[in-house]
Structures are given as structure tokens and as C-alpha cells.
Amino acid sequence: MRRQLLLVAGAALLALAGLGVVATLRPAPAPGIDQVAAQVAAELRCPDCQGLSVAESRTAAATAIRAEIAELLADGASAEAVRQHFVDRYGAWILLDPPNPWAAWIPALVIALGLLIAGWWVLARRPRSSPAPRPAGAADAAVRRELEELDA
């Protein structure tokens, strides 16, 4: 009886694990046009107000852009194509998060700056000049004398 219970519990656990895997691997349902429209509107800058997206603003320009986004998506345009449609009219400025043309240079700049700082550090630690030779003192003379006595 106990073994049967364990088997049932094991089978239930396996079934649950299987369901979890299926649920994880199953592709998420494609977002509807309204969701895509809201997402694109949130990524575009309102042209006639400050610091607001097209989704947040109620100005005439933002309203016109929202209507155009909905029309373009309904006509089958992709979200990327819709974004590009407005970039073609306003420039990359219309994107709240425009692509940064300097991004590719940032790693190279960081490395160059690191090398400069490292060079600076090495130069700063290097002794300014080599120490002057120590003049032969009384101790050296004594040692020399002892060596001469040993040689004799």
C-alpha cells in the first residue's frame, strides 16, 4: 500500500514537472495590435511637449501620431517599421531611447583610457633618478685592509 502511494506521488510529481516544462517552452502568445501600438507610442517622444512620450501626452501631435501608429500596424507594418516611419520624418530625436552611434567606440575608449592611466601610474612610481654611488667610507677601507692581510 505504501509503495503504491509512493508510485502515485512520484507519477504526480513527474506529471507536474512535465507540465512545467511544456508551459515554459511554449511560445508566449503574440501581443495584440493594441499592445504593440501602446509599446511603440511609449517609445516615441511627444513632438510638442517636453519630457513625455506619445503614449503619455494628450496634445494634438501625440494624438495624431497615436492614430498613425494604429493605422500602420493595422496595415500590417511591424513595430520596427512603424518606429522607422517616424524616424524618417522627425529624425532619431523622436525616439526616447535613440541608438547611440558612439556605443561601439566605448570599449575602445575605456581600454585606451585604462592604458593611459596605467602608464601614468607606472611613470609616477618609477624613481626619479638612480641613487649616487656611496663614497667609500671607513668600513670599506677596513674590509679592504683585511682582505689584503689574508692575501699576504
Partner 1 sequence: MNRLRWLLVPVVVVPVAWLLFTGLGRDPRDIPSPLVGRPLPVLAGTTLTGEQFSTVDLVGTPMLINAWASWCIPACVIEHPVLMDAARRHAGELALVGLMYQDTVSGARAFLARYGDGGWPHLLDPDGRMAVELGITGPPETFFVDAAGIVRAKNIGPLTEADLDRLLPLIGVAR
List residues near partner 1 by CB under 8 A.
47-48, 60-61, 63-65, 67-68, 86-91, 94, 113, 116, 119-120, 123-124
- Our CA angle for 123, 126, 127, nearest 5°, is 140
Please give the grid coordinates belonging to residue 72.
500602420
Cβ proximity to partner 1: between 18 and 93 the closer is 93
Q: Supply the minimum distance, in Å, between the C-beta of residue 139 and partner 1.
A: 36
Cα distance between residue 41 and residue 6, in whole Å: 55
Reduce the DSSP state of residue 45 to 3 states and report it.
Answer: strand
Q: How far is CA 69 from the centre of its chain?
A: 29
**∠ at Cα 59 (53, 62), nearest 5°?**
50
State the nearest-atom distance from the C-beta of 145 to partner 1, in Å: 45
Residue with smaller CB distance to partner 1, 55 or 65: 65
- Using the minimum distance from each CB to partner 1, give the nearer residue, 12 or 116: 116
Closest separation between CB of residue 87 and partner 1, Å?
Answer: 7
Closest distance of CB 36 from partner 1, Å? 19
CB closer to partner 1 out of 36 and 47:
47
**Residues in a beta bridge with 95:** 44
Least gap, CB of 52 to partner 1 (angstroms):
13
Helix axes 60-74, 33-43, angle to 10 degrees: 140
125 versus 134: smaller Cβ distance to partner 1: 125
Reduce the DSSP state of residue 53 to 3 states and report it.
strand
